[in-house]
Chain A
Amino acid sequence: MDKQNNDPKSAVHCESISKKYDEIEALKNINFSVNPGEIFGIIGPDGAGKTTLFRILTTLILADSGTASVDDFDVVNDYKEIRKQVGYMPGKFSLYQDLTVEENLNFFATVFNTTIEENYELIKDIYQQIEPFKNRRAGKLSGGMKQKLALSCALIHKPSVLFLDEPTTGVDPVSRKEFWGMLKSLKAQGITILVSTPYMDEASLCDRIALIQNGQFLKIDTPKNIVAQYENKLWAVQSDNMYKLLTDLRANELTNNCFAFGDKHHVSVSNEQLTMNSLKETLDRLEHTNIEIREIEPTIEDCFMQLSQK
């Protein structure tokens, strides 16, 4: 149960939320709170339960048990109020493919009883990037542009809470970075943002995150704290034959586990007997060349993997 906020009102609050689909438990006893004005990330792979959780919070489906509220409105009883106030961007963007950029925006403005002009300030920075294409059909936009349009449509009525379900999935890395930049400036305007993503590297861009796997939260905290709570030491190891290195490191009895991380392997070490020098010697004997071993700070991905193996 996470109650780190001191504000009397939490933007989002979940207590003991559970949801089952046939035999599969999509969500098991979810508890958390989001503070107003936070960027809160829900980080986890496909099938972890992120979309289910978002749908419950945006009142689109009912949980089997537990309670949840958005802006102090109950998701079951006060769903009409919530639907007036939240911005929702579901996975795959959900835009009208055969309507132009401008027509999409106008439609959503009307649906939320507002006009583009009324809250233009809010979406200006984002919209200006796609404005040159305002007469192009949404179906013909690139992934990055669709993203920006969908975000604009979700913001058009100046929501108090923004729910973004995997907004960066399937989008190129450049657009991904730009998108997070936009989120930061939205936060500055006081909008609470809940984002879900399977990309672990995006976790560090959030104020607080919840790591989710198989319907359960593994941990809820700031990225910094999570990294600080990593058990054991973490070393980054390199050599000229990375594949052989991987098998050798795993075969070594003194290491906990070893995973490939790009051009280095991350080795988790708890045994005091193993020092960097002794490891280097062992690898030397196994005919590795250009061996480099460094102690490093764990990434969120390291933490996730450790927590999910418990």
Chain B
Amino acid sequence: MFRVAGYRLHVNPNPQLATRNKQIMKQFIGFLHKEFLHIFRDPRTMVIIFGLPIIQLLLFGKVINTDLQDSKIAILDQSHDNTTREITSKLLSSGYFILDQELMPGADVEDVFRKGKAKMVIDFEQNFEQNLERDGKANVQLLADASDPNTARILTNYASAIINDYIQKEKLQNIQLPYQINTEVRMLYNEGLKSVYMFVPGIMAMILMLISAMMTSISISREKEMGTMEVLLASPLKPIQIVLGKVTPYLLLSFINAVTIILIGTLVFGVPIKGSIVFLIAESFLFILMALSLGILISTIAPNQMVAMFVSVLMLMLPTILLSGFMFPIENMPTPLRILSNFMPPRWFIIIIKNIMLKGTGILYVWKETLILITMTFVFIGLSVKNFKIRLE
């Protein structure tokens, strides 16, 4: 302790402590140095640190786009007068909507939704213009597919806003008569706009996909790591026997998972099952089989369990959440991502489940998606057997 300009400065009273601290610091820095060397010399770590965030950011940015554009709608124009045509053209030139089809009066509106072609149907009543000019009131009905309640709400809001805007701008030049267009909104399949109706199918797809694929992906890698794969290979067992032998137990077990999720969805969250339960279970079965086969395929490629798990979780989970239409509408994504989304099995499965549970459709409406899943399953199994090295290298 000594005085400088009247102030006391404390010199470290314990020089040994200072040396010790210096040593600890030196050790630490030496260790840091080593760690950096390891990191820079491992290409995989570099990809994860630099490549992954960039990819994720681009993906997220493009996908999380809550502004809806170019949503497909159908118009049921029972009047075909100037007003309805003006409103229609205003709707279609807004950029929010694309015309899927014009429905004839008496058309089965439900069918349009079941087929998944349009997200909203705009129904102009008969003698629309006449009613408006004579009574100052006309009715238009907005029917939306609320199996995706968020989208439904947004679309109906857009449409209502455009229609009201039309009145403000076009018709209120004559202040005498207040014109009013009643927009009646009907949310189909999900009157309460419960988001759980959208979530449960999505979660089901995600969980089944993840767990099934992950389970089988580590299974073959594990045999390779333990060394028992060598012994299996040097035996009369054929690759197809091994592959199917690995898939089957998980198939039976995942099945229980699927039933549980459906039960919880209906009993706890109140998601209806309008369609055939048996059909629902059958489709779930197919999806599980597909996911297991994908897992096996990953397993034949991955050199060890860690890589297998990594690939399963990262490569499957993220795309499932982002690109399957589960949370973010596919229609809004830029074309490359939309194309990529076609290769995501959950995308098709979610359509199937929603159809069965919320819209009560049968095989006729989902045959395309089912066929896609079946094809994927065969491809994965085929590739697994082909990839399955009958030799060690």
Could you tell me which residues of chain A, from 52 to 83, have a CB within 8 Å of some CB in chain B?
55, 58-62, 79-80, 83
Could you tell me which residues of chain B, from 189 to 234, have a CB within 8 Å of some CB in chain A?
226-228, 230-234
Contacts A92-B227, A97-B226, A111-B232; A62 near B237 (Cβ below 8 A): no
CB of A37 within 8 A of chain B? no
B215 shortest CB reach to chain A, Å: 16
CB of B391 within 8 A of chain A? yes
A198 shortest CB reach to chain B, Å: 18
- A80 CA to B231 CA, complexed, in Å: 14
Give every chain A residue within 8 A of B390 (Cβ-Cβ): 79
Among B230, B391, B393, which residue has its beta carbon within 8 angstroms of that of A88? Answer: B230
Give every chain B residue within 8 A of A58 (Cβ-Cβ): 234
Give every chain A residue within 8 A of B227 (Cβ-Cβ): 90-94
The 8 A CB mask of A87-104 against B (1 = contact, 0 = none) is 010111111110000000
Among B230, B236, B391, which residue has its beta carbon within 8 angstroms of that of A94? Answer: B230
Q: Determine if A60 and B236 form an interchain contact, defined as CB atoms under 8 angstroms apart.
A: no
Q: Determine if A90 and B391 form an interchain contact, defined as CB atoms under 8 angstroms apart.
A: no
Q: Determine if B234 and A94 form an interchain contact, defined as CB atoms under 8 angstroms apart.
A: no
Contacts A55-B392, A61-B392; A88 near B234 (Cβ below 8 A): yes
Q: Determine if B391 and A61 form an interchain contact, defined as CB atoms under 8 angstroms apart.
A: yes
Q: Determine if A80 and B228 form an interchain contact, defined as CB atoms under 8 angstroms apart.
A: no
Q: Determine if A86 and B234 form an interchain contact, defined as CB atoms under 8 angstroms apart.
A: yes
A80, A86, A111: which has the most chain B beta carbons within 10 Å? A111
A104 shortest CB reach to chain B, Å: 10
Q: Determine if A96 and B234 form an interchain contact, defined as CB atoms under 8 angstroms apart.
A: no
Give every chain B residue within 8 A of A93 (Cβ-Cβ): 227
A106 shortest CB reach to chain B, Å: 14
Could you tell me which residues of chain B, from 334 to 393, have a CB within 8 Å of some CB in chain A?
390-393
A90 shortest CB reach to chain B, Å: 5
CB of B235 within 8 A of chain A? yes
The 8 A CB mask of A133-152 against B (1 = contact, 0 = none) is 00000000000000000000
Q: Determine if B236 and A111 form an interchain contact, defined as CB atoms under 8 angstroms apart.
A: yes
Q: Determine if A60 and B230 form an interchain contact, defined as CB atoms under 8 angstroms apart.
A: yes
The 8 A CB mask of B34-74 against A (1 = contact, 0 = none) is 00000000000000000000000000000000000000000
CB of A180 within 8 A of chain B? no
CB of A112 within 8 A of chain B? yes
- A58 CA to B230 CA, complexed, in Å: 10
A58, A80, A94, A108: which has the most chain B beta carbons within 10 Å? A94
Q: Determine if B228 and A95 form an interchain contact, defined as CB atoms under 8 angstroms apart.
A: yes
A1 shortest CB reach to chain B, Å: 27
Give every chain A residue within 8 A of B393 (Cβ-Cβ): 61-62
Interface of A is mostly: loop
CB of A113 within 8 A of chain B? yes
Give every chain B residue within 8 A of A108 (Cβ-Cβ): 231, 235
- A94 CA to B232 CA, complexed, in Å: 10
A251 shortest CB reach to chain B, Å: 41
Among A84, A88, A92, A153, which residue has its beta carbon within 8 angstroms of that of B236? Answer: A84
A287 shortest CB reach to chain B, Å: 46
- A59 CA to B237 CA, complexed, in Å: 14
Q: Determine if B232 and A90 form an interchain contact, defined as CB atoms under 8 angstroms apart.
A: no
Q: Determine if A60 and B391 form an interchain contact, defined as CB atoms under 8 angstroms apart.
A: yes
- A108 CA to B393 CA, complexed, in Å: 23
Give every chain B residue within 8 A of A86 (Cβ-Cβ): 234
Among B226, B228, B237, B392, which residue has its beta carbon within 8 angstroms of that of A60? Answer: B392
B383 shortest CB reach to chain A, Å: 22
In this complex, what residue of B is CB-closest to A98? B226
- A83 CA to B392 CA, complexed, in Å: 14
- A58 CA to B229 CA, complexed, in Å: 13
Contacts A83-B234, A88-B234, A111-B235; A94 near B392 (Cβ below 8 A): no
The 8 A CB mask of B227-270 against A (1 = contact, 0 = none) is 11011111111000000000000000000000000000000000
B62 shortest CB reach to chain A, Å: 41
Q: Determine if B235 and A83 form an interchain contact, defined as CB atoms under 8 angstroms apart.
A: yes
Give every chain A residue within 8 A of B233 (Cβ-Cβ): 60, 83
- A288 CA to B236 CA, complexed, in Å: 64
- A112 CA to B390 CA, complexed, in Å: 17
Q: Determine if A83 and B236 form an interchain contact, defined as CB atoms under 8 angstroms apart.
A: yes
Among A79, A94, A111, A112, which residue has its beta carbon within 8 angstroms of that of B226? Answer: A94
Known pairs A88-B234, A94-B228, A96-B228 / 14 extra A-B pairs, C-beta < 8 Å: A59-B391, A60-B230, A60-B233, A61-B391, A62-B393, A83-B233, A83-B235, A83-B236, A86-B234, A88-B230, A90-B231, A92-B227, A94-B226, A96-B226
The list of the 6 closest CB pairs from A to B, nearest first, reads: A94-B227, A88-B234, A60-B392, A90-B230, A94-B228, A84-B236
Would you list 9 pairs from A and B whose C-beta atoms are within 8 A, ordered by A residue?
A60-B234, A61-B393, A62-B393, A90-B227, A93-B227, A94-B226, A94-B230, A108-B235, A111-B236
Taking Cβ atoms with an 8 Å cutoff, the residues of B that contact A are 226-228, 230-237, 390-393
Taking Cβ atoms with an 8 Å cutoff, the residues of A that contact B are 55, 58-62, 79-80, 83-84, 86, 88, 90-97, 108, 111-113, 153
